[in-house]
Amino acid sequence: MNLQDLKAQRAAKRAEQATDFDPNGLAAPGQVYGLPYDERSAEVVIFPVPWEVTVSYAAGTAAGPEAMREASAQVDLYDPSVPNAWKMGLWMAPSSEKWAYKSERNRERAEAYLEALAEGLPTARLAKSLEKINAACDAMVDWVYAQTSHYLDQGQLVALLGGDHSTPLGYIRALADRYPGMGILQIDAHMDLRKAYEDFTYSHASIMYNAMKHEGISKLVQVGIRDYCEEELEVMADLGERISVYFDRDLKQAQFQGATWAQQVEAMVADLPQQVYLSFDIDGLDPKLCPHSGTPVAGGFEVEHILFLVERVMASGRSLIGLDLNEVAPGPEGDWDANVGSRLLYRLCNLLGASNGRI
């Protein structure tokens, strides 16, 4: 069946499922945002990856997807940027218990490995443990590539939901295979350009180092960076024109002297190619909005700063081809982080659909 026929089938199924749906009513339990759609009718698929093997500070991000699914019941469906967005067809795939277990098991291995290193044990004695951890992460990347490729092949759009920031690498590679010349717009407190941080090839702190190995990615635009090391600055220099970095300090200093966010966004957008992938680590926001994220850093943005940026990318005629949201960790008390994350995810998914004419 060709993509046009699949799209027609999805539209017919959505119409059927939405017949008695009240977007102003109470959310149906268990369904993301209380929406009535499923895999057969969805234009945008939220793909959860409950994985946090290499988190280097605080854990909890593997529980983020399910916490956000639960919190989504509190999100009103009207979106002023995308009227009638609820009609688009948004569905969240089930979280994989298998990969959640693999994450937990290999997180235990990683913690033991790091403790042993700190105690000064010979690296050779730890090699087998490290090999297992890296092999598991490699398998996760391949799994994400295969799963997201399936949805892309069906003509669906994908919003990947981590887990830690290592999770979207397979998805990024799948898109780069399909859209050579694409760019990445990264919202983050960190550059994530470390090479095999803490010896983990697929560390969350190495996601962009690994992503930029793909020749199909022509540009990386980083926004909000405020915690980095000399090694990452060296990688930035090596990438040359393939990277533009908007450091949080520089943005704020310019604003103190009269620059507006709109002016700064115009420069960011100009650096991007036609097809744009959004990679969003929630610690790019002000940590008051995500206090339990793995590595929060003072500074950052309000939600509307980033939504304005994404909307300006679209207004420029560029296409948003996919996105991820990562590092949302529910706290021990309440569901504030998941509440913020689920509201942000809804708005971003709506923009993804709108950018591709799905609403």
- Position 198 scores a pLDDT of 87
State the alpha helices, DSSP H only, in 271-320: 303-315
Average pLDDT, the chain: 94
Tokens 């959004």 found at: 278
Reported confidence tier of residue 122, pLDDT bands at 50, 70, 90: low
DSSP result, 200-228: -TT-GGGHHHHHTTSTTEEEEEEEEE-B-
pLDDT attached to residue 35: 96
**First and final C-alpha spacing in the chain:** 23
Exposure of 118 in the CB half-sphere (CA atoms within 13 A): 6
What's the pLDDT at 285?
98
The whole-number pLDDT of residue 8 equals 93
Which band of pLDDT confidence, cut at 50, 70 and 90, is reported for residue 335?
confident
Residues 6+ apart with CB under 8 A from 48: 65, 66, 69, 92, 93, 94, 95, 96, 161, 163
Query: What DSSP letter does each residue of 224-265 carry, written as one string?
Result: EE-B--HHHHHHHHHHGGGEEEEEHHHHHHHHHTT--HHHHH
Q: Which segments of the chain does DSSP mark as H helices, in order?
A: 3-17, 64-71, 97-118, 123-153, 169-178, 207-211, 230-239, 248-256, 261-270, 303-315, 336-355
pLDDT digits (tens, 9 = 90+) for 289-329: 999 998 899 999 999 999 999 999 999 999 999 999 999 99
Number of domains in the chain: 1
pLDDT higher than threshold 90 for residue 332: no
Percent of the chain at pLDDT above 90?
85
pLDDT at 62 over 90: yes
Tokens of 11: 């539209």
Taken as a whole, the chain contains a residue count of 359
Q: Are 297 and 227 in contact (CB under 8 A)?
A: yes
Residue-wise pLDDT tens digits, 32-54: 999 999 999 999 999 999 999 98
What pLDDT is stored for residue 309 in this prediction?
Answer: 98
- Domain span holding position 147: 3-355
Residue 57: pLDDT over 80: no
CA angle 175, 277, 58 (to 5 degrees): 105
d(C-alpha 193, C-alpha 250), whole Å: 19
Does the pLDDT value for residue 245 go beyond 70? yes
CATH number at residue 92: 3.40.800.10
